[in-house]
Chains A and B, each alone.
Chain A
Amino acid sequence: MWRDVRAELAKQAYRPASWLLLAIGVVLSATFAHAVPYAGYRGAASGAPGAGRGLAEMLPAQFAGNAIAGTPVFVGALALIFGVLVAGGEYGYATWKTVLVQQPSRATVYTAKLVTVAVGALLLVLALLAVSAAASAVIAALEDQPGGWPSGTAVLRGAGAGWLVTTMWGTLGVLLAVALRSVALPVGLGLVWLLAVQNLLAAIAAPLLDWVAALQKGLPGANAGSLVAALGAPTGTPGVAPLVGAGQAALVVAGYLAGFALLAGWLLRARDLD
């Protein structure tokens, strides 16, 4: 099993697209969680997203919340693409047969893929935390503010929540790749859900229709947004809103993660590999 994990990690580590996704996540986070708000604070970017945020929200005390603020939508989209690549690549390159005739069971390879998605999500969240910490320290230094850092527990909780949310999106990517046995269509459909449908539901349908508002509280994006909001993510960020309590949100996100993983595993086991 661990040799299969090593094989899967190697496949992704040597894949340029994996590092491109990580770099995009870091740049997006640094830009929209720190650079633009700070430019807005300094009066250079009024009207830009997050530009009206106060200085206190950019300082080290808030770095963990800022780091994971993108996970319900933008960073989540990157995690979903990573999940699609991890599982869908085997369909795209027709390598399932190459791997499985070497002996491992489908369940073993699939589990190794889930571990790889979780490791990739953890690396992404840790990178976001590091960049957010560095950016907030720079802003504090520029503004001559005291560098009050959050407690280790708060950072761990933020990291854990960010990891849970990004792993959940990555696992949705795995499910879409296995269900559709490809790469392009799962990425497209996943992004439509994450970037368009979720926002339309939250911004347009939910305020007009009570049943959509109620339904939304059970959807993965809304619960992801509620979870990171409870851990300090700024509520002005797309997808971040305290619709449900942190405990429920964590349970629902974990439930989706488990559900996606089990459904994809069942599909992979049940179907022929052509």
Chain B
Amino acid sequence: MTTNPVETHGLGKRYGGTVAVRDLDLTVRPGEVYGFLGPNGAGKTTTLRMLLGLIRPTSGGVRLFGAPPGPGSLRHVGALVEGPAFYPYLSGRRNLAVLADHAGVPRSRAGTALARVGLTGRAGDRYSGYSLGMKQRLGLAAALLKEPRLLVLDEPTNGLDPAGMAEMRRTIRALADGGCTVLLSSHLLAEVEQICDRVGVLHGGRLVAESTVEELRTGGALRVVAGPEDRARDRVVALLGAERVRADDGGALLVDVERDQAPRVNAELVRAGVDVHELCWSEPDLERRFLELTGGDPDVA
């Protein structure tokens, strides 16, 4: 049986009277890209720090490849947590050489990792002179030093320009395609949508949803643009009930029905003499779903 790269059971962290994470059961399966989604302050970074042994849970436990966080299990883990942090007076290459020593891998891996993130040309420059994007890429290079089987990335595209974000996402996807499991924390819905296989939504320290991106977006509605609007609404309500009909921001009707009921709705409207201008299936976007799950927390991009 294959051991899951990450498993938590009843994981919790309390700071005095504040509960940062509560009763978290999380499983990241081998080879998947798991998106850890949540608004700022939801407990994402606290959870990642517990996974990596930087902070101790106040309840529950963590297993990385079946073992508690520690030198043994971290041998297979690369991580970038809460932004890159390096020694400013050392060059990028020297920073990675020092970390290679700590990781117990050959210093030559520094050059390979730098090439992988496209920093070879600036490897000899001091870290203090790096742009935010370069620092972020050096952070990813450090996470790749051990050629990890599990990559834990906390908001890895922070500070990157659009091209840099796209490149970072391509790199992460390529690593995953190469067999590396990725646990990616983000509050960027588009990012999660693009590269993640499964998503866990954290809110107020709790896991409020966990599914594939597709599943998270199920529950689409039939979008109807018809006139007169009042008459159209009355007919659909008469047909399906008021609880299944709502209006969107543009005045169109959103009807909660199965896809195969669309012709029936159309026929009813036509029969009633309503002009049907548009009838289409509306996929719910991830942002709407996310806002529903997190109670409309605005702190999300």
Contacts from A to B (Cβ < 8 Å): 3-4, 6-7, 10-11, 14-16, 89, 93-105, 108-109, 272-274
Determine whether the beta carbon of B145 is less than 8 Å from that of A102.
yes
Chain B residues near A100: list those with CB within 8 A: 52-54
Determine whether the beta carbon of A98 is less than 8 Å from that of B56.
no
Determine whether the beta carbon of B102 is less than 8 Å from that of A103.
yes
Determine whether the beta carbon of B102 is less than 8 Å from that of A272.
no
Q: Which of B55, B85, B101: most chain A Cβ within 10 A?
A: B101
Chain B residues near A93: list those with CB within 8 A: 85-88
Give min CB distance, B214 to chain A, whole Å: 32
Determine whether the beta carbon of B81 is less than 8 Å from that of A11.
no
In the bound complex, CA of A97 to CA of B89 (Å): 18
In the bound complex, CA of A100 to CA of B99 (Å): 9
The 8 closest A-B pairs by CB, nearest first: A7-B101, A272-B55, A102-B103, A94-B85, A101-B79, A102-B102, A3-B101, A103-B74
Q: Is B122 interfacial (CB-CB < 8 Å)? A: no
Determine whether the beta carbon of A98 is less than 8 Å from that of B85.
yes
User: A10 touches which one: B85, B88, B98, B143 (CB < 8 A)?
Assistant: B98
21 pairs from A and B in contact (CB 8 Å cutoff): A6-B101, A11-B87, A14-B89, A15-B87, A98-B86, A98-B99, A100-B52, A100-B53, A101-B52, A102-B102, A102-B145, A103-B71, A103-B74, A103-B103, A103-B104, A104-B102, A109-B102, A272-B49, A272-B56, A273-B49, A274-B49
Contact with A along B104-138 (1 / 0, CB 8 A): 10000000000000000000000000000000000
Give min CB distance, A183 to chain B, whole Å: 13
Q: Is B251 interfacial (CB-CB < 8 Å)? A: no
Determine whether the beta carbon of B54 is less than 8 Å from that of A95.
no
Chain B residues near A4: list those with CB within 8 A: 101-102
Determine whether the beta carbon of B103 is less than 8 Å from that of A10.
no
In the bound complex, CA of A137 to CA of B208 (Å): 77
Give min CB distance, B250 to chain A, whole Å: 46
Chain A residues near B97: list those with CB within 8 A: 10
Chain A residues near B103: list those with CB within 8 A: 102-104
Q: Which of B49, B71, B82: most chain A Cβ within 10 A?
A: B71
Chain B residues near A6: list those with CB within 8 A: 101
The number of inter-chain residue pairs (CB within 8 angstroms) is: 90
Contacts from B to A (Cβ < 8 Å): 49, 52-56, 70-71, 74-75, 77-79, 81-82, 84-90, 94, 97-99, 101-104, 142-143, 145-146, 152
In the bound complex, CA of A272 to CA of B52 (Å): 12
Determine whether the beta carbon of B99 is less than 8 Å from that of A99.
yes
In the bound complex, CA of A99 to CA of B49 (Å): 13
Give min CB distance, A163 to chain B, whole Å: 25
Chain B residues near A96: list those with CB within 8 A: 54
Determine whether the beta carbon of B90 is less than 8 Å from that of A105.
no
Determine whether the beta carbon of B85 is less than 8 Å from that of A7.
no
Chain B residues near A3: list those with CB within 8 A: 101-102, 104
Chain A residues near B78: list those with CB within 8 A: 101
Give min CB distance, A226 to chain B, whole Å: 38
Q: Which of A14, A89, A93, A103: most chain B Cβ within 10 A?
A: A103
Determine whether the beta carbon of A101 is less than 8 Å from that of B81.
yes
In the bound complex, CA of A227 to CA of B74 (Å): 45
Determine whether the beta carbon of B102 is less than 8 Å from that of A99.
yes
Chain A residues near B98: list those with CB within 8 A: 7, 10-11
Give min CB distance, A70 to chain B, whole Å: 27
Chain A residues near B53: list those with CB within 8 A: 100
Nearest opposing residue in chain A for B74, CB measure: A103
- Other CB < 8 Å A-B pairs besides A93-B85, A95-B86, 7 of them? A10-B98, A96-B54, A102-B74, A103-B71, A105-B71, A272-B54, A274-B55
In the bound complex, CA of A97 to CA of B79 (Å): 9
Determine whether the beta carbon of B81 is less than 8 Å from that of A97.
yes
Nearest opposing residue in chain B for A1, CB measure: B104
